[in-house]
Structure 1
């Protein structure tokens, strides 16, 4: 059976030796199905990258790999379906889902006690008792 168009493009890119980012993207796209399956199986993105890097299937950095995962696998589809949160590295270097920013949350999730201003507030008109 004939190879898929994606596989043929990946082979062509590998033969031509184009710029690094094009070659890296082609390598990732060739492995996208396997990477998505591993993520769905619950494997951390860092472990997936380490395995592919050790097998010499990817030659680019973990940060670049994480960017491809976020953009090409975890980004929301155009048809409006929801997708998992993008991946960010935590303190230990392991990948963890990123929480949605407050502006992306629904109003029901906003907590008024967290939205209230705390700490110092600047008042540009001075009080007479505060002046020397």
Structure 2
């Protein structure tokens, strides 16, 4: 990890659900103490509406976000890369910390199915903040 602000990249296939929720939670909880990115190996056109609704329920508005394509530069610029079902499409560089979070895919699911995924991501983000030494209130 860099000695300045740690940077975290969340990657899933469509960058329309899991990685967007994780990035939003981390930004919401850590503010500017962590640099946050998210991307998809095959990005969708828009965010999953059930994901937007589920995040709004916990006070986090992601309605203006858009899926982004995974780039080598984004991986290279990140200290921690967290994959969420993107398989082997994520480039691997020495010196980076890689985590693979096995999470259900919210694609095609209603908000009832998205809530437990959202809550699990929130728990993992809080744990990650502890590992990064970032303290939130």
* Bin of the TM-score, shorter chain as denominator length: under 0.3
- Could you say which structure has the greater relative contact order, defined with CA pairs below 8 angstroms and 6 or more residues apart? 2
Return the structure number with greater strand share. Answer: 2
Q: What TM-score do the two structures reach when normalised by structure 2?
A: 0.26
Q: What TM-score do the two structures reach when normalised by structure 1?
A: 0.26
